[in-house]
Amino acid sequence: MKVAVWIAAAAVGTLVVLTIIAAAGSRTAPLRRLVVATLEERLDSQVELEAFSVDLFPAVTVAGSGLTIRLRTVSDPSVPPLIQIRSFVVHCGIIDMVRRPRRFKHVTLEGLVVNIPPGGFKRNGNPIAGAGPGAGAATSPPNDGRPTESPIIVDELLADGALLRIIPRREGKPPKEFAIQALTMRTLGLGEKMPFTATLTNPLPKGQIETAGSFGPWQKGDPGATPLSGEYTFQNADLGTIKGIGGTLHSQGAFSGELQRIAVKGETNVPDFHLTISKKPLPLTATFEAVVDGTDGDTYLTEVNANLQRTTIRAEGAVIGIKGVKGRSVKLKVHIPEGRIEDLLQLAVKGDRPLMVGRVALKTDFELPPGEPDVIERLKLAGGFDVGSAKFTDPKVQEKLAGMSHRARGRDPDEKADNVVSGLSGTFRLQNARLAFSDLAFSLPGATVRLHGTYGLRSEDIAFDGTVRMDATISEAAGGGFKGFLLKAIDPLFRKKGAGALVPIKVRGTRDKPEFGLDVGKVFKR
């Protein structure tokens, strides 16, 4: 009797298993149609699937190849599809094949490429991507108000060796590509909030980013409004991959928002930041807040607080693409409320020691266009500065200035030199590695110096012209005596607007060997 029961039970069990297997096997075509229809409906896309199969032994395996998903809102046939997958393999149980929603335990993708279309995602043919830090969030209901439940759920998805490509909206610009070494997503479904971890390579500066967070649910009616959040670390990035600068960058932070408007907060540390023109490493640290348009890669820096050694730097601006030009342009408003002039000089000027030390306040427009030349050749600055209690470190320069000060007061130039320059201020422009100064002025005891001219950051050549306004007359500056007596005849030639003497001067030579002299030609032109 027991034997008969066991035989009957075994027969019934076998029939149940065979029924499930038969049902699952017969659902290959419907399952294929379900996959295609789900993707087309939920992503508002045209879907192509070249091959699809279901293998039940030794375990249930669903495989496919040639999966292409093209957004219907992108009408330009030259734009690559949103998603391309060379092949995929899905593992699940037999019961998972027939229940709703169908839940697959594990999916592996090969050859995954994600292309963000130019200008971001669109609604009714109009761009909806964020246009800057002031752009508001989309207000349309997610998924056009339809239920967000997904008919297919994936417990875990692995996609190693993937590629994220952002297609620029500006013609002639190459896409920005991020190589993703490893990507893992869990609870994957179009109506789900999907946790992920990823390791990817940042192209410039070159380095590895580790990130973890969540993505979704996917917003069909407004894909750019799909939520995104997480944290990242960016370690050992080689700044030397940007021609003209160097150092090793470390950064970490968090991000949140929507694909079209991602708010990022983080901190950066470069212990050995330097320009290759001077090769003097200085510690640079910064905290920042930014808004990233994830649909085109443009970044809007809303607040940057940095410290370069002992100098505090504030900045805001944007890193954006330019039509027809490879790379991105950096445009900033930079303010140094309290700094040290020697920190800035060490960074940009050759030599074993800075030309000058002292407190500095500075404001400048900062523009770094993209391109192949060295950073110092591309960098453009335009601003003004004010240096307090400045002191030249070169004894020869200090000696010449001290001698000028003594003569300007009618004192013996062999007396003890004064060391401090006060009221040093001016405006400047940097372009093509050459600094042009205007309204450059500083004071010495007994004299005020005004200059304009240029300094070559690479050649180190100096070409300045200006005037020295002295308290003393020319004859008094000569130290009196017989020489002073003879010079009294020319005192009127240099006297102007109440000054003891107004002397035109020129400075030529190089940073190491400056030459100060009287501009004789201008004396007789006045």
Token look-up 């070249």 returns 50
Mean pLDDT score, 99-104? 70
Residues 6+ apart with CB under 8 A from 309: 282, 283, 340, 343
Q: pLDDT band for position 13 (50/70/90)?
A: very low
pLDDT over 80 at 336, yes or no: yes
pLDDT over 50 at 244, yes or no: yes
| Range name among 38-42, 314-318, 455-459 with the lowest pLDDT average | 38-42
How many helices (H) and strands (E) the chain has is answered by 10, 29
- The pTM assigned to this predicted structure is 0.77
Question: Which range is most confident: 80-94, 99-113, 421-435, 500-514?
Answer: 421-435
DSSP 367-421: EE--SSS-HHHH-EEEEEEEEEEEEE--HHHHHHHHHHHHHHTT--TTSPPP--B
> What are the residue ranges spanned by the domains of the chain?
394-525
Question: Which range is most confident: 15-24, 149-158, 423-432?
Answer: 423-432
Mean pLDDT score, 379-397? 87
Distance CA(89)–CA(110), nearest Å, equals: 9
More confident: 21 or 270 = 270
Q: pLDDT band for position 248 (50/70/90)?
A: very high
More confident: 491 or 160 = 160
pLDDT over 70 at 482, yes or no: no
The pLDDT value recorded for residue 2 is 38
Cβ atoms of 343 and 282 within 8 Å: the answer is yes
The pLDDT value recorded for residue 199 is 94
Q: Which two tokens stand for residue 23?
A: 């049902």
Q: What is the pLDDT of residues 65-75, one digit of tens each?
A: 999 988 887 77
What percentage of the chain carries pLDDT values higher than 70?
77
Return phi, psi of residue 373, to 5°. Answer: -60, 165
More confident: 140 or 352 = 352
Q: Cβ atoms within 10 A of the Cβ of 466, count?
A: 19
